[in-house]
């Protein structure tokens, strides 16, 4: 039996101290929920305490030293991961629809969120449903090489008003704007093709 609830697109950005969950920690993350028309339904943002068994990656920390404002933003009002993920799960469950994870890049952001969900809540309402914005751009631009689908190759009108600041809430909102603009371009191409 299929679930007739509408999809809710959950644009999510994570900030971490290294490349893999468990060995490294998720420092902060934010999600913006959108309905199918691109209207914002709500948001969730949290800064996390690091995992006691994890250690920061040297290269990641070197990069963070070049981002002092973003670092300061993600290191205030820290919460234990178990509490934060339980609140996030409640927020996702409160959405009136089936959540679909949306990210740029999907693999990195969803890997961290999913790992934390399974570890601290035991489940993920996303299941394995996720949309990679970079792959959408690759398809919309008709590129031959996936690695050519960079933000530099994307039309300026695809980007919204929200600047990319490496603050999770800003970046989640900016990714949501990008997602809906690319989706609109793809739907327009489908209608005319």
Tell me how crowded residue 75 is: count the other CB atoms within 10 A of its CB: 15
Contact 166, 30 (CB under 8 A): no
| φ/ψ (deg, to 5) at 121 | -120, -25
Contact 9, 34 (CB under 8 A): yes
Helix residue spans in 30-162 (DSSP H): 58-64, 68-74, 81-94, 106-120, 133-141
Pairing of strands 78-79, 7-16: unpaired
Task: Round to whole Å and give the CA distance between 46 and 81.
Answer: 9
Task: Round to whole Å and give the CA distance between 119 and 69.
Answer: 30
- Per the annotation, the verdict on 164 as an active-site residue is no
Q: Which residues are part of the catalytic machinery?
A: 166
């Amino acid at each position: 039996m299929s679930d007739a609830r509408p999809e809710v697109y959950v644009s999510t950005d994570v900030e971490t101290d290294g490349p893999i969950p468990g060995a490294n920690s998720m420092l902060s993350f934010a999600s913006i929920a959108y309905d199918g028309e691109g209207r914002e339904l709500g948001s969730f943002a949290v800064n996390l305490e690091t995992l006691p068994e994890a250690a920061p990656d040297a290269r990641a920390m070197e990069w963070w030293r070049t981002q002092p404002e973003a670092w300061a933003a993600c290191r205030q009002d820290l919460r234990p991961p178990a509490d934060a993920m339980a609140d996030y799960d409640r927020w996702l469950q409160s959405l009136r629809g089936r959540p679909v994870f949306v990210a740029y890049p999907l693999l990195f952001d969803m890997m961290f969120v999913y790992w934390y969900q399974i570890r601290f809540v035991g489940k993920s309402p996303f299941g394995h449903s996720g949309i990679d914005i970079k792959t959408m751009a690759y398809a919309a631009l008709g590129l031959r090489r996936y690695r050519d689908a960079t933000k530099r190759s994307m039309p300026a009108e695809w980007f919204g008003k929200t600047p990319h600041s490496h603050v999770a809430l800003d970046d989640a909102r900016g990714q949501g704007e990008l997602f809906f603009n690319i989706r609109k371009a793809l739907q327009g191409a489908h209608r005319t093709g």
